[in-house]
Amino acid sequence: MKVFRILGRNIRDSFKNVFRNFSLSIASISCIVITLIVVSISIVLTYNVNNFASLVEKDVTIVVFLKNDITDLEIDEVEDKINSLSNIDSYVFKDKMEITSDMMESSEVYKSIMGNWKEDENPLRDTFQVKVTDIKLIDDVADKIKQFDNVEVVKYGEEMVKQLITVFEVVKNISIAIVIALMVVTAFLISNTIKITIHSRKREIEIMRLVGASNLNIKIPFIFEGLLLGALGSVIPIIITIYGYTALYGHFNGQLFSPFIKLVPATPFVYYLSLILLCIGILVGMFGSWRAVRKHLKI
Amino acid sequence: MDLIRIRNVKKVYKNGVTAIYDMNLDIQKGDFVFIIGATGCGKSTLIKMLYREEKPTSGKIIVGGIDVAKLRNGKVYKLRRKIGVVFQDFKLLPRATVYENVAFALEVFGLTKAEIHSKVIKVLDLVGLKNKIKNYPNQLSGGEQQRVAIARAIVNGPKLLICDEPTGNLDENTSMEIMNVLEEINKLGTTIIMVTHDKEIVKKMKKRVILLDAGRILKDYEKGTYKDESI
Ligand SMILES: Nc1ncnc2c1ncn2[C@@H]1O[C@H](COP(=O)(O)OP(=O)(O)OP(=O)(O)O)[C@@H](O)[C@H]1O
Ligand SMILES: [Mg+2]
């Protein structure tokens, strides 16, 4: 009970402090707001890019075109060889008739052209469509398959895949760097705010020591103050995140520019994100105040 | 029984000034002791070591069973809870009422509102300020402010009350009022050590008097034997 009463008093005190140095608190809170908004945007970006990348990666297929006059026996041979490779997730065999009917289904134009093809006129090839487990090693797999007998061409949009992967990495790294830099700046600002509170409460601290308040008892209100600044600062970013992303998702119908680029569904994503923002706000706030207390509240 | 035992204590400040030389002193429980001496003779230094504001450079200080010199920083609060301290400049919180100023000393211990209320009212009654609990410090006379400070120092029920020139800012009559309050508190069992420059007070009170000179005890007058030797 005693502990709760002391804690209650500490929380009350930190509220008082926040309002006593109102302009300073506002400055710190604004800084946290900006930081967390950027953090939120970065996470939204990174997460979507990641999500998109994994979708793309799942879709990347090595198409192995077989020679036109290949026999069933030779097809089996190729299949055995593919089977013996490592890093293969799955593969399917599609003969030219199957591909033709797929394509005809997908478009009226194809249908009118291909509908007239006879069996021996079909210029398409039988194929294996191979998916790999690790997209980064897709080159290896493709190179090995190229060496096989009776294989004509191997295609997998290699340049596009590589570029995408690099772009994703760069986007991720830049946003992580910006987020870290902003968090450091914010922590310093909070630390400064708490430092000023400590100085403005010199007399109170002196008296607290004199009447026998324990060190923890003296320090906790300041730590709480940082926590409070962090928590208050995360309110606006959380609201922006929840409403902003939900609206964005709704506006674009869950996809960007083309059905190919899918957005992460708004729920429950925005709620996890809000929780993360709150935690970051609180942690940065507490770190800032802890630093100020350690430096300026020598007991 | 000794409440305070000082053995071979020496205090050298960081700047090289020696404030106390090889001091030995015992103070009994329930005593009322004056510490007097010229400016800069080490009076404040001596009492600061008692409540561990300063650490002795060498020697031993026992206060209420606590070995003060060995006390770690994190444990100083345990000593402070046994000691009340009053200063010349009162050290009140200007934006808190009389009641809040005194209650402040209890709130850090997590007492309930009712417990705090009854203790605060009791000490404010003892120092004669029960009718001014809602006033702010700037609405009080110097003597009244000092009584608030005394109330705050004793509200916790400390064994020892240390006063560093508590009447330094007050006129003669007001000073005597404060002395009466201290006398009252002493009668209730609290040991009092008071630093002062006011020889009139010391003469009137007829208590034990310790005269310091340049960091040493020059004379230790038994109760009622102090005479002004105009040093
Ligand atoms: N924090 C300090 N650092 C260095 N020297 C100090 C410090 N405090 C006091 N002194 C020196 O120690 C000596 C004793 O000082 P102290 O304050 O104990 O004197 P005092 O008897 O209380 O004087 P006064 O009657 O003026 O209050 C003085 O020479 C003073 O300059
Ligand atoms: Mg002094």
User: Which range in A36-50, A140-154, B16-30, B217-231 is most confidently predicted, on average pLDDT?
Assistant: B16-30
Closest C-alpha among A5, A113, A33 to residue A284 = A33
- pLDDT-wise least confident of A121-125, B1-5, B122-126: A121-125
Q: Write out the DSSP string of A5-52.
A: HHHHHHHHHHHHHHHHTHHHHHHHHHHHHHHHHHHHHHHHHHHHHHHH
Q: Give the SS3 label for residue A123.
A: coil
Give the model's pLDDT for residue A192: 86
Burial category of B51 from C-beta neighbours within 10 Å (exposed 0-12, middle 13-18, buried 19 and up): buried
Round the average pLDDT of chain B to a whole number and report it.
92
Q: Where are the domains of chain A?
A: 2-56+162-296, 61-156
CATH number corresponding to A61-156? 3.30.70.3040
Please answer yes or no on whether B110 and A9 come within 8 Å at the CB atom.
Answer: yes
Q: Which atom of ligand 1 is nearest to the CA of B212?
A: 21
The answer, yes or no, to whether residue B9 has pLDDT greater than 80, is: yes
Query: In Å, how far are A90, B106, B120, B140 from B155, measured between CA atoms?
Result: 81, 8, 7, 20
Give the model's pLDDT for residue B229: 66
d(Cα A83, Cα A101) in Å, to the nearest integer? 27
d(Cα A99, Cα A116) in Å, to the nearest integer? 15
Reported as a single tens digit per residue, the pLDDT across B65-123 is 999 999 998 899 999 999 999 999 999 998 889 999 999 889 877 788 899 999 999 99
Give the model's pLDDT for residue A259: 66
Question: In this structure, how many other beta carbons lie within 10 angstroms of the beta carbon of residue A45?
Answer: 14
pLDDT, averaged in runs of 10, over chain A (299 residues): 80 81 84 89 84 74 82 85 84 83 79 76 81 78 82 70 76 85 86 85 88 87 89 94 92 72 84 94 92 83
- As given in the structure block, the two tokens for residue A158 are 């290699």
Give the model's pLDDT for residue A145: 83
d(Cα A48, Cα A43) in Å, to the nearest integer? 8
Q: What is the 3-state secondary structure (H, E, C) of B9-71?
A: EEEECCCCCEEEEEEEEEEECCCEEEEEECCCCCHHHHHHHHCCCCCCCEEEEEECCEEHHHC
Backbone phi, psi, residue A89, to 5° = -85, -55
Give A 181-240 residues with CB within 8 A of chain B: 203-204, 206-215, 217
Q: Binning pLDDT at 50, 70 and 90, where does residue B24 land?
A: very high
Instruction: Report yes or no: A6 at the B interface, CB cutoff 8 Å.
Output: yes
Residues around ion ligand 2, judged by CB within 5 A, are: B 44
d(Cα A274, Cα B202) in Å, to the nearest integer? 69
Q: What percent of chain B has pLDDT over 90?
A: 82
Task: State the ipTM, two decimals.
Answer: 0.86
Burial category of A159 from C-beta neighbours within 10 Å (exposed 0-12, middle 13-18, buried 19 and up): exposed
- The DSSP letter of residue B134 is T
- As given in the structure block, the two tokens for residue A207 are 């008296």
* Residue with token string 């409540």: B51
Q: Write out the DSSP string of A252-279.
A: TTTEETTTTEEPPPHHHHHHHHHHHHHH
Q: Which atom of ligand 1 is nearest to the CA of B165?
A: 27
- As given in the structure block, the two tokens for residue A56 are 């793309």
Is-contact A291 A187, C-beta < 8 A? yes
Instruction: Report yes or no: A73 at the B interface, CB cutoff 8 Å.
Output: no
Residues of B in contact with A5 (CB under 8 A): 110-112
Residues B50-72 have a mean pLDDT of 93
The answer, yes or no, to whether residue B231 has pLDDT greater than 60, is: no
Give the model's pLDDT for residue A158: 62
Give the model's pLDDT for residue B159: 93
Residues of A in contact with B51 (CB under 8 A): 210
pTM of the model: 0.75
List the single residue in B77, B93, B110 with the smallest CB-CB distance to A204. B93
Give the model's pLDDT for residue A170: 85
List the single best residue of B52, B91, B106, B109 to mutate versus A (max A Cβ within 10 A): B109
